[in-house]
A = this chain, B = another copy of it.
Amino acid sequence: MDKLNDTLSELKEQNQNLLEWKRKLSLILEYSGKISAATDLSEILKVITDETKDVLQADRCSVFLVDKKKDELFSWVAHGLGKRQIRFPKSTGLAGAAVVTGETINVKDAYNDERFNPEIDQKTGYFTKTILCIPMKNRQGETIGVFQVLNKLDGVFAEQDAEMLRLLATQAAGIIENAMLYEEMKKSFKSFINTLAEAVDARDPLTAGHSSRVCSYAVLIAQKMGYSEKEIERLQYAALLHDLGKIGVKEGVLTKPGRLDEKEYSHIQTHTSVTRKILEQTYFKKEFKDIPLMASSHHEKVDGTGYPQNLKGEKIPEVSRIMAIADVFDALTSKRHYRGPMPLQKVFSILKEETGRKFDPVCMEAFFKLDLWDVMKVMFEREEKPSSETVSAKLKGVTLQELLRKFQDGVKDDIIENVAQYYSRLIDEG
């Protein structure tokens, strides 16, 4: 009977342990679906830290990544509705000690450990008691980051917690490295496109920075029209690449100081079809399939008289209708071989006049809803920005539409004066 009772309590204890295992592992499994579905690094880190808190039953968890170039640790923290990156020297505090030594650190009373850095507690009003830090290593054994778990809800961190956290860290290391790989590849591709666009623009000194500004104006309009982040990304590629076909235009035509004759004009028009040809030979994933058409249709007009395909109205991709406005706006507000930058008032009246013929009315409406200050920041990107506090305070919140009305009503107030003053720099240089 005693023996039976012993067996019984032994089994019960075993059962208890196994139930705890099951709880932890089920949690991990549940999270692993969430992690693999996350698409960006800060989102992945958020899921991983939530997971760690739940599995280890702790109050807080942070994952810091090693920035090898700068010898720093960094992570993201929630900040308003977005997130903010935080950074500190690699060897700071207990997390830093775990990174430097590559060892697990399990401390029962943080304030009694001299490696502990109390500054963050002081800033945030938090009180750290127990702390578990585990370096996160990749396949090559390199430490790529550190897990820091604070305040076990019930007592102190046990060796079992450390073991579980090492498992989690190993799992996380691979996921994080893959996510970084993806982000790096995307960053490379984008930055290559960007410098390439600059190189193409630079064939004619007067169009330097054109593609990048068209891209910025187009993004502002698209945001006003409620585009999603993914749609904006696609628009950015299309906008940065819209003049790529100018690679094929003869520089004699490209940089001709004066109006182009008919033959030259039709030669320069070929840049749209060259853009399309180059991009059509490029492999794009499904969501990006329309980039060649989008990028190459920025000279189409809604009335069907544009080129290269005489597309009409909604046959022109909306992204191209947005780009058409951005493209003309940048061209008119920039110096050209045959003229200086045009005064804003005249630019606006040309845009208005051509709406419905060349430009899409809906996209144009979004354009005129833009903040004057946002537009001016793009316009002056290539040189010193209008940065005086008082000026920005005056121009912020004024829309292009309101500026247009002031022009039309002949108003001469502070805003008009400030705009004229900044704008005159472009004209003086022209």
Confirm or deny: A305 has a beta carbon within 8 angstroms of a beta carbon on chain B. Answer: no
Partner of A171, one of B33, B177, B200: B33
Q: How far is the CA of A203 from the CA of B274 in the complex (A)?
A: 12
Q: How far is the CA of A177 from the CA of B33 in the complex (A)?
A: 12
List the number of copies, as a whole number: 2
Chain B residues near A111: list those with CB within 8 A: none
Q: How far is the CA of A28 from the CA of B199 in the complex (A)?
A: 50
CB distance from A37 to the nearest CB of B (A): 4
What total of chain A residues lie within 8 Å of the partner, measured CB to CB?
68
Chain B residues near A149: list those with CB within 8 A: none
Chain B residues near A190: list those with CB within 8 A: 283
Chain B residue nearest in CB terms to A245 = B199
Chain B residues near A177: list those with CB within 8 A: 36-37
Confirm or deny: A77 has a beta carbon within 8 angstroms of a beta carbon on chain B. Answer: no
Confirm or deny: A19 has a beta carbon within 8 angstroms of a beta carbon on chain B. Answer: yes
CB distance from A200 to the nearest CB of B (A): 7
Q: How far is the CA of A198 from the CA of B279 in the complex (A)?
A: 12
Confirm or deny: A349 has a beta carbon within 8 angstroms of a beta carbon on chain B. Answer: no
CB distance from A328 to the nearest CB of B (A): 25
Chain B residue nearest in CB terms to A138 = B37
Confirm or deny: A178 has a beta carbon within 8 angstroms of a beta carbon on chain B. Answer: yes
Measured CB to CB, the residues of A under 8 A from B are 4, 7-8, 11-12, 14-15, 18-19, 21-22, 25-26, 28-29, 32-33, 35-37, 39, 68, 138-139, 167, 170-171, 173-175, 177-179, 181-182, 184-196, 198-200, 202-203, 244, 247-248, 250-251, 274, 278-279, 281-286, 288
Report 30 cross-chain contacts, Cβ distance below 8 Å, ordered by A residue. A8-B11, A15-B15, A15-B18, A18-B19, A18-B21, A21-B25, A22-B22, A22-B25, A29-B167, A29-B171, A33-B171, A33-B174, A35-B174, A36-B174, A36-B175, A36-B178, A37-B138, A37-B177, A184-B283, A188-B284, A191-B282, A192-B193, A195-B281, A196-B196, A199-B244, A199-B278, A200-B247, A203-B247, A247-B247, A251-B251
Chain B residues near A193: list those with CB within 8 A: 192
Q: A185-B185, A196-B196, A199-B244 are in contact. List 11 more A-B contacts (CB 8 A).
A: A4-B4, A18-B19, A21-B21, A32-B171, A33-B170, A33-B171, A191-B283, A192-B282, A194-B281, A199-B247, A199-B248
Q: How far is the CA of A8 from the CA of B1 in the complex (A)?
A: 12
Q: Is the CB of B189 within 8 A of A192?
A: yes
Q: Known contacts A36-B171, A185-B182; is A11 also within 8 Å of B4 by CB? A: no
Chain B residue nearest in CB terms to A195 = B281
Q: Known contacts A15-B15, A178-B178; is A186 also within 8 Å of B187 by CB? A: no
Q: Is the CB of B29 within 8 A of A203?
A: no
Q: Is the CB of A189 within 8 A of B189?
A: yes
Partner of A15, one of B11, B139, B250: B11
Q: Is the CB of A278 within 8 A of B203?
A: no
Q: Is the CB of A198 within 8 A of B37?
A: no
Partner of A187, one of B15, B36, B181, B283: B283
Partner of A274, one of B173, B181, B199, B282: B199
CB distance from A51 to the nearest CB of B (A): 12
Q: How far is the CA of A222 from the CA of B202 in the complex (A)?
A: 35
CB distance from A104 to the nearest CB of B (A): 18
Partner of A28, one of B19, B29, B138: B29
A7, A194, A282 interface centre (most CB from chain B within 10 Å) = A282
Chain B residue nearest in CB terms to A172 = B36
CB distance from A306 to the nearest CB of B (A): 23
Q: Is the CB of B14 within 8 A of A184?
A: no
Q: Known contacts A22-B22, A25-B29, A251-B250; is A37 also within 8 Å of B174 by CB? A: yes
Q: Known contacts A247-B199, A283-B191; is A182 also within 8 Å of B182 by CB? A: yes
Chain B residues near A139: list those with CB within 8 A: 37
